[in-house]
Amino acid sequence: MNKPASKGGQKTAADWKKQLSPEEYGIARQGGTEPAFSGRYWNHHEQGIYACVCCGTALFSSESKYDSGSGWPSYFQPVDSTHIAMHTDHSHGITRTEVTCTHCAAHLGHVFEDGPAPTGLRYCINSASLAFKNN
């Protein structure tokens, strides 16, 4: 599942491979998933913003991060709903809702309807798709 480089198509796969680590490329650009409890942010508690590793778009705030027990960073809402897109994902024999960055189409993870109030949503996001920025 190779994602488009960006809306304008400025970056090629080779460009992304130069910018990203092999793990980041495999997850953010090819729709992979890191193993549970292995990513750098699943148990991260600093205050700040989690941005797209590919383009730097602000995606999630530490204020909406919570411990879901899933082994992936989990958030109950994005910083701005226009920064993420949702798509139906039928991979792995199940139907889920994939979450991508609207600016560069990077694969972020999936959203589920088993999160806490106030949204009831759990944005289950791969650490390798994120870059943390302190406030």
Please pick, among 52, 101, 104, 124, the residue that the annotation labels catalytic: 124
Tens-digit pLDDT profile for residues 54-95: 999 999 999 999 999 999 999 999 999 999 999 998 988 889
Does any domain span residue 7?
no
Q: What is the CATH number of the domain that holds 50?
A: 2.170.150.20
Does any domain span residue 34?
yes
pLDDT classification of 115: cutoffs 50, 70, 90: very high
Lookup: tokens for 79: 């910083």
pLDDT classification of 2: cutoffs 50, 70, 90: very low
Can you tell me the distance from the alpha carbon of 75 to that of 64, in angstroms, rounded to the nearest whole number?
A: 5
| In the predicted structure, residue 5 carries a pLDDT above the cut 60 | no
Residue 72's domain comprises: 13-134
Please indicate whether residue 54 is annotated as part of the active site.
no
What is the Cα gyration radius of the chain?
A: 14
Domain count, the chain: 1
Does any domain span residue 2?
no
**Percent of the chain topping pLDDT 70:** 93
Does any domain span residue 123?
yes
